[in-house]
């Protein structure tokens, strides 16, 4: 539905895209997830570690962790270089959508998400995780200070770009912190946002849309 810099399925309503186009895009995404348009709750990321429990439809929540125990409710984390990821413990009946950029890795947002799920009855050894695409370390140049801050929280995130300059590996950082929290069942979409023309990248384009990861509880048999 979206065009120009936002082509085609931009899910963000804060980046300058036509609001009606965003509404249609979200409706399509909700339908693909198997929930009603009004039952998809999209976060407004703040690059922190605040968690919110979503019990029903409503305004987008500010924070980087959305959890729900309510069947029929979808939660979504958006990104355009950062890592959007989903966590699920089907036995406990709790699912989360999470956003983590370099600030999120530095603050252990992944660990905070697991802790929030455990508070709702989940067990780390039962949680399964899926990481959405993010900027790869080869394209993610940062300052030496930022690399130091991130790698202090997740040593595996220390990286260099293709030019040999300081970088961070967001996927490796999130994987490290999930493992530290006891989550080992992790899959990932390893495409780089900068290198993949079908993904949004703020670093590549500046003005752009947001893709994301959507999650809901599975149907009970």
Q: Please determine, for residue 88, whether its predicted confidence score (pLDDT) is greater than 90.
A: yes
- pLDDT tens for 114-133 read 999 999 999 999 999 999 99
- Which pLDDT score, from 0 to 100, does residue 178 have? 98
pLDDT number for residue 67: 97
pLDDT of the residue at 1: 65
User: Which residues make Cβ contacts (< 8 Å) with residue 4, sequence separation at least 6?
Assistant: none
Peptide bond into 8 cis (omega under 30): yes
pLDDT at 210: 95
Evaluate if residue 30 carries a pLDDT over 70: yes
CB under 8 Å to 10, separation ≥6 — which residues? Answer: 2, 17, 21, 22, 25, 200, 209, 210, 211
- Of the pLDDT bands very low, low, confident and very high (cuts 50, 70, 90), residue 7 is confident
Which single residue is written with the structure tokens 């999130």? 174
Kindly report, residue by residue over 153-192, the tens digit of the pLDDT.
999 999 999 999 999 999 999 999 999 999 999 999 999 9
On the 0-12 / 13-18 / 19+ scale of CB atoms within 10 A, 82 is buried
Write down the pTM of the prediction: 0.94
Domains of the chain: 4-215 (3.60.140.10)
The stretch 43-51 carries a mean pLDDT of 94
Distance CA 146, CA 107 (A): 12
């Amino acid at each position: 539905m979206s065009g120009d810099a936002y082509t085609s399925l931009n899910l963000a309503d804060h980046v300058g895209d036509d609001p009606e186009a965003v509404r249609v895009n979200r409706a399509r995404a909700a339908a693909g997830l198997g929930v009603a348009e009004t039952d998809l709750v999209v976060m407004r990321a703040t690059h922190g570690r605040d968690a919110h429990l979503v019990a029903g439809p409503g305004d987008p929540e500010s924070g980087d962790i959305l959890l729900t125990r309510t069947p029929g409710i979808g939660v979504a984390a958006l990104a355009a270089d950062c890592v959007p990821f989903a966590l699920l413990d089907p036995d406990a009946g709790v699912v989360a959508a999470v956003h983590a950029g370099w600030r999120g890795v530095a603050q252990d947002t992944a660990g905070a998400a697991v802790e929030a799920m455990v508070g709702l009855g989940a067990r780390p050894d039962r949680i399964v995780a899926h990481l959405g695409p993010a900027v790869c370390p080869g394209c993610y140049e940062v300052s030496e200070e930022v690399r130091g801050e991130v790698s202090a929280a997740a040593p595996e995130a220390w990286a260099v770009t293709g030019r040999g300059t300081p970088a961070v590996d967001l996927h490796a950082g999130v994987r490290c912190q999930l493992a530290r929290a006891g989550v080992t069942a992790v899959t990932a979409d390893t495409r780089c946002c900068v290198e993949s023309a079908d993904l949004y990248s703020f670093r590549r384009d500046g003005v752009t849309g947001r893709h994301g990861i959507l999650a809901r509880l599975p149907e009970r048999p």
